[in-house]
Structure 1
Amino acid sequence: MAEKVRFWERFTRKGKENVGVRQSLVAIVRSSYLNILLILIPISWVSRFMYWPSTVTFSLSFIAILPLAKLFEFGAEEMHHYLGHDFGDLLSVTLHNAVEATLAIILLLHCDLALLKSTVIGVVLLHLLLVPGMSFIAGGARVATQDLHPHVTELNRSLLAVGSLSLMVPSAFYAALDDIEIDDELRDNFLSISRGIAFCLLFVYVCSRIYLHYPPGDEVTPVPQNKKVEDHGKHSEPRVNQYVCVGALLVCIGLMAVTAEWLVNALDDVKEDVNIQLGWFGLILLPMVSYAAHGAVAVGYSIRKAVRVALKLAEPKPPTTFAKGKPIDLSIQFTLFWLPFLVLLSWIIGKPLTLLFDFFEVSVLLGACFIVNYVTADAKTNWAEGAALVSFYVMIIVAAWYYPGSKDSEILSSCNKVSESLQQLAQMKLL
């Protein structure tokens, strides 16, 4: 009861002056220079309803999502002041995954299950390899090693292994079947297996959150964070009113859902026009939607900082020895929460989404999990290990560009009856 009282007092800022509505709106508008791209949201909607070329609608929708992704990050930072460290971190991870989760749900509603599966793997690979790799390179440029807290690292390694190996189970099951006929009964079996695995993954995720928030024993040292994170909320004040922030986040989610809908609608025509493999769209392009915003801001900030230091307008800051492993948390949440959530949601709405992924996708995911666990095993990292992560991601990009995809996986991922999908495939071969 006391914890609830403290939480409510913190959320309402009892005894402190709250931020005004006008001041909050001004802070939101000035939160990032990417907000200028918000003008593309109505333009992308006009493009959709005026039936402009699909490539134009896709491009406009793609770029319009970038400022929304940045606003999610800004909102999460502000809500840290009102929710505290534990719940603030959980909200931050969830909002960082909001773009990909929205795209995944829309793909599920459109029953584009093969592309959905590729996108899920692509999101996890992006947050396992490219994002932390670039972070380790940038952060380790001026120090020999950076530290990752061992308590979090050990748990993350276990969760990563469980998440990736759970996707290997259906693939191993399918690979062990000799000369079996692909039919609706086989897909029903995989649906049952997938739903059972989904419940197990959700259970593991809930247990991990409980363990992190309420570590057992009086002698267990609480999970320490970066000093800057620890002081967040103590020596700084929020710039946005909590109710305005919640309202702004809800508006962003609505705009995100509609804009992502137009993006997915234009996707089929774009794939035919540019002649790119389906798997490459899911593994590489769609996951880049959310990272493009963070990458653009990071590049802009780095250039501005370098210019100011070069012109002696600012003193260079001392290098930090604390490496940010937050992108790995995003991969864990997407694997252990969003993926099983999608499986159970598909069960509710009658879509045949299984956890039987393409063998190539499962293989590269297991490879990514292995290299990440190996790099973080000693709870230390450096720029060379970051370069290794990015290089492995580039290898996957090159291979995915030429990979045609598995026909069996596409058939079992179709919303039609398996017999109908096989018949359509036969007709395409005759043509």
Structure 2
Amino acid sequence: MPAGLGAYRVVLADPAARAFSLAALVARLPISMTGIGIVLLVSLESGSFGRAGLVTGAGTMTAAVSAPLWGRAVDRLGQASVLVTASLVWTVAQGLLVTGVLLGWPFGAVVAAAVGVGLGFSSAGSAVRARWNHRLQGSPLLDTAFAFEAVLDEVVFIVGPVLVTFLATRIHPAVALGVSAALGLVGALALAAQRGTEPPRQPRRTADTVRARIDPGALAPVVVASVALGAIFGGMEVVIVAFATESGVLPWAGAILMAWAVGSLLAGVVAGTLTWRRSPAARFRIGAACLALSLLPLPWLHAPLLLAAVLVVGGMAIAPTMIASVSVTQAAVPHSRLTEALAWSSTGLAGGLAVGAAAMGLLIDRGGSQLGFAGVVGAGVLLTVAALGVRARPVAAP
């Protein structure tokens, strides 16, 4: 296996892989834009972070429930038809959400629109990793490919929050969410159009599919830990907006969130160049503990620049933890069920995002951003405890 950055050069020498990875990058941009965009739209229109958190939570909770169903549909029907269907649902529902907020629809109608947004939420992250797994199955370069996608995830979380905050504060939050919807639709259609790199479909009634079972004992701890991880991410989005509002630097809320992603990106690049001696499960537990420790100072920080600096350092634990999570899942489930298994991890993450956004929004309404940061610290403690249950359990050969 090539050493250092040479592994990235080998992986990216494949033009078809570059094409599907780029399309998935565009399709994933709304993941980092939609949550903060909804928080900005609802909080600025209603003046309540609690309502903003509840609307965001409704969408992400729906995404949590629907992700495994989309994942199973992808494995059985192929990626193209599912990606197109989900992206159309996403686009229409986001238009209804913006319209409802601006026209003052009843709160229940706005929440219903958010449910539609969650129903069509992007599964491009699971889809692109399944393509890499199909293309590099059995190759030591697969970990490098997963690391590369983790780096692109951080690019998403660097570009997305800055872009959506700029559009929301300089033009209007509705414009920001409109751009998010357009990017998600274009990226999903571009990925769906690349039929030649799709993993093969797994029809419902073949003998191989009957034998290919997912071991709940191997996957459940990863999902539970993903819930806690999602609570940190979802809560942080809302708390950063509240902190920036209190500090008089709201246009810079996206840049503060970007600092977190910058640290993660740097660590992700390095992680892809290393040959690991510890198991993915051990790396996940170590990364989760480091991330939780980095959150402890947040309730006592009041200077935006100092907060951004602490987030850069703490962000360095994110990408290695996420890479390890994918590797644990990939090693523990049958190849024919990988997209579904990754979707279950996404379900945990999305469920945590929903709970984190809603809970931190309510805490902020009661005690400001300081209390919100305390809630994020609590989610970090839960992550550390949950990560202890993640163990290496290789899938049994047929």
TM-score (norm 1): 0.32
Structure with greater helix share of residues: 2
Higher radius of gyration, 1 or 2: 1
TM-score (norm 2): 0.34
